[in-house]
């Protein structure tokens, strides 16, 4: 075993002892980042090239600083995004939300679908839709200036139209025209603060995490915004906590102009997102 692989094994033990959820993965990712190689190429790094900065990176991760803040990058579906302090780090769970939305848009009898991503954060959702539905027009809305510093870097050169502003008052010029509204909004109840993983609680923006006593304040307002923006037959997709699967679909009732409200699991079979269709006249 070469020196780097031996150090990775030791780092894995340190990260596991610190409670890091994926210690081997993170130890390898940081080794690859510091030595500027792919994870599968770690065995090719000569002992003489071992970089002591690796242990500085491990110490930061040991303190539960997000892996993505240390490397400055996050992977989402087919994208590599720039992330750091001030912007919510996209999670793997959201990939299944976007996958459902992409399938829904592709199934629509629309040549050039119109999509709106509310609370876009890093721009991960908007960029994935623009990339995987090539003829779509995608608008992304974000309020936070800190987050937008990262969003602008990520969407530069893409087809995503970025807007700074309040998601609830956004894009009135598109009222009644949008085919898909999607959002990964804040949804953690304020009462759950102490149970949130340190990587999120101490590093993700608070406004991207918490939303009222039951966690549903933002989703309630997105329900009204989505109804305003969507054309009849258009679809809304909203991510939520795995404990909210029995609550969110009930916000999209027939009385409020919705049809086919349903909840869906993520790849781990946990309730993850709700969908509904704007009712036809």
The per-residue b/e assignment along 22-54, b for 16 or more CB within 10 angstroms, e otherwise, is: ebeebbbbbbbbbbebeeeebeebeeeebeeeb
Predicted confidence at residue 166, as pLDDT, reads 94
93 contacts: CB under 8 Å, gap ≥ 6: 239, 266, 267, 268, 272
Q: Which of 113, 135, 121, 136 is nearest to 230 (CA)?
A: 113
Report phi then psi at 262, rounded to 5. -155, 160
What would the pLDDT profile of 121-157 be if each residue is shown by its tens digit? 999 999 999 999 999 999 999 999 999 999 999 999 9
In sequence order, the 6+-apart residues with CB closer than 8 A to the CB of 184 are 90, 94, 97, 119, 121, 125, 239
- Predicted local confidence at residue 48, as pLDDT: 81
For residue 1, pLDDT beyond 70? no
Residue 104 burial (CB count, 10 A): 18
Point out which residues pair with 80 in neighbouring strands: 75
Euclidean distance between CA atoms 20 and 252, whole angstroms: 37
Is 70 or 195 the better-scoring residue by pLDDT? 70
The structure tokens 């990964």 sit at 184
Q: How far is CA 153 from CA 17, 147, 161, 203, in A?
A: 35, 10, 13, 20
Tell me the mean pLDDT in the region 101-119: 96
**What six digits make up the tokens of 279?**
């009712």
% of the chain exceeding 70 in pLDDT:
100
pLDDT for the residue numbered 98: 97
pLDDT at residue 3 greater than cutoff 90: no
Rounded Cα–Cα distance for residues 123 and 119 (Å):
9
User: CA–CA separation, 141 vs 120, rounded Å?
Assistant: 6
Segment among 71-75, 91-95, 193-197 with least mean pLDDT: 193-197
C-alpha distances out from residue 109 to 3, 104, 159, Å: 57, 10, 21
pLDDT at position 176 over 80? yes
């Amino acid at each position: 075993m070469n020196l780097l692989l031996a150090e990775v094994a030791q780092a894995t033990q340190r990260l596991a002892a610190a409670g890091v959820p994926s210690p081997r993965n993170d130890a390898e990712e940081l080794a690859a980042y510091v030595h500027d190689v792919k994870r599968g190429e770690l065995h090719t790094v000569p002992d003489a090239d071992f970089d002591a900065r690796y242990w500085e990176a491990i110490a930061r991760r040991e303190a539960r600083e997000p892996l993505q803040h240390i490397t400055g990058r996050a992977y989402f579906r087919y994208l590599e995004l720039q992330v750091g302090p001030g912007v919510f780090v996209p999670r793997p769970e959201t990939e299944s939300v976007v996958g459902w939305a992409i399938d829904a848009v592709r199934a629509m009898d629309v040549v050039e679908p119109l999509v709106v991503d509310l609370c876009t954060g890093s721009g991960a959702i908007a960029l994935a839709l623009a990339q995987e539905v090539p003829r779509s027009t995608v608008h992304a809305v974000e309020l936070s200036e800190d987050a937008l510093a990262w969003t602008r870097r990520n969407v530069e050169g893409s087809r995503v139209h970025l807007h700074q502003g309040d998601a609830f008052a956004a894009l009135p010029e598109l009222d009644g025209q949008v085919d898909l509204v999607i959002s990964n909004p804040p949804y953690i109840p304020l009462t759950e603060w102490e149970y949130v993983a340190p990587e999120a609680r101490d590093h993700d923006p608070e406004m991207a995490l918490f939303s009222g006593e039951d966690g549903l304040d933002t989703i309630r307002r997105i329900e009204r915004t989505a109804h305003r923006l969507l054309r009849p037959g258009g679809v809304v997709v909203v991510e939520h906590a795995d404990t909210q699967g029995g609550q969110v679909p009930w916000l999209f009732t027939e009385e409020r102009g919705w049809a086919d409200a349903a909840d869906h699991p993520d790849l781990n079979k946990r309730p993850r997102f709700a969908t509904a269709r704007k009712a036809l006249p």
